[in-house]
Homo-oligomer: A and B are copies of this chain.
Amino acid sequence: MILGIDIGGTKTSVCAGDADGRILFSARMPSLPERGPDDWMKRLFRLAQEVLAESGIDLTDVRSIGISAPGPLSVQRGALLSPPNMTGWETVPVIAPVQDHFGRPVYMNNDANAGVLAEWLWGGCAGTKDMIFLTMSTGLGAGIIAGGTLVQGACDMGGEAGYHVLDPMGPASPCGHRGSFEAFCGGKNAADRFSRRMKYPRPADFRHFMDEVRRKNPIALEEWEIYIEHLAQGIGNLIMILNPSIILLGTIAMHTGSIIFDELSRRLPAYTVPEALKACRIEAATLGRYLGDHAALAVAAKNMAQ
């Protein structure tokens, strides 16, 4: 058995599953990053105990624990390093406290790398040598398989494509990089921009923004144009740099459906050469609602297989 912990800026979920990606039980809690890491860690341990109890698993049956967490992070130091949507979490050790608490080997990777591993191991892409998974939730990160290998990078920052700059005159993002892929296309950043222009008292979420796009709210349509054009540019850049055969899009694309894929088909030729674009399928992530849980399990499964 594997315990999977999927950490996000909005929610954290814990699941019990196995090395073939089967999920027995999964539960979630709000992450509430503003309350700080200690509060979060206490609630995480409680949730994990509940998951073990609910799934009837004894801790002695758990072989390892896999963690999928928002980047940037250091696998070597076992710590989160100021993830953009968790303000104040500067260097937050995660592997050591979880290992100490449960007494089991703990493996961690960022959510994008974990996601691409899950899709590669258990999704519809088995055997693919070159693929990319874009998280597309609160933030925006990429997990990259190139030449049949996960691109982990020199210090675990391979695939941090959300930081790559699409337009140096573009909007600032919480991470401080002007005009980055995440500044334009991170779900929170896009929804916040729309909310500010609408003068909402509190920022709405991306789902509300998309509802307003469908209702043809003129401000929503303007912001959608910015969002989708830069999404095409960012994805086009990844196609030209890495020449993948599949790009899988995460949360937002899974929720909003065909409109994103239709617009990308229309806009991608301006950012790619025909051969590279033709070689690349762009689809919604195949593991669906429980992708985060699968991702956390995949981190442990991959390390156990090595």
Contact = CB atoms under 8 A, between A and B. Distances in A.
Interface in A264-278: 270-273, 275-276, 278
A173 interface: no
Nearest to A153: B243
What bracket does the count of chain A residues touching chain B fall in?
35 or more
A183 interface: no
Interface in A212-247: 229, 233, 236-238, 240-245
Contacts of A270: 177-178
Kindly report how many copies of this chain are found in the complex they form together.
Answer: 2
Contacts of A23: none
A144 B149 CA distance: 13
A19 to B, nearest CB: 22
A114 to B, nearest CB: 16
A243 B146 contact: no
A160 to B, nearest CB: 5
A13 B270 CA distance: 34
A240 B173 CA distance: 16
B151 A242 contact: yes
Contacts of A152: 147, 243
A148 to B, nearest CB: 7
A275 B153 CA distance: 11
A158 B238 CA distance: 10
Given A147-B152, A153-B242, A163-B273, 14 more contacts: A72-B276, A130-B158, A148-B149, A153-B243, A153-B244, A154-B280, A157-B243, A157-B275, A158-B243, A160-B240, A164-B236, A165-B236, A166-B167, A241-B242
Interface of A: 72, 74, 81, 129-130, 142, 144, 146-161, 163-169, 175, 177-178, 229, 233, 236-238, 240-245, 270-273, 275-276, 278-280
A196 to B, nearest CB: 23
- Which 10 A/B pairs are nearest by Cβ-Cβ distance? A153-B243, A147-B149, A154-B245, A157-B243, A164-B237, A163-B240, A155-B279, A154-B279, A158-B243, A157-B276
A275 B146 contact: no
Q: Which of A165, A178, A241, A276 has the most CB of B within 10 A?
A: A241
A157 B276 CA distance: 7
Contacts of A159: 241, 243
A179 to B, nearest CB: 9
A280 B158 CA distance: 12
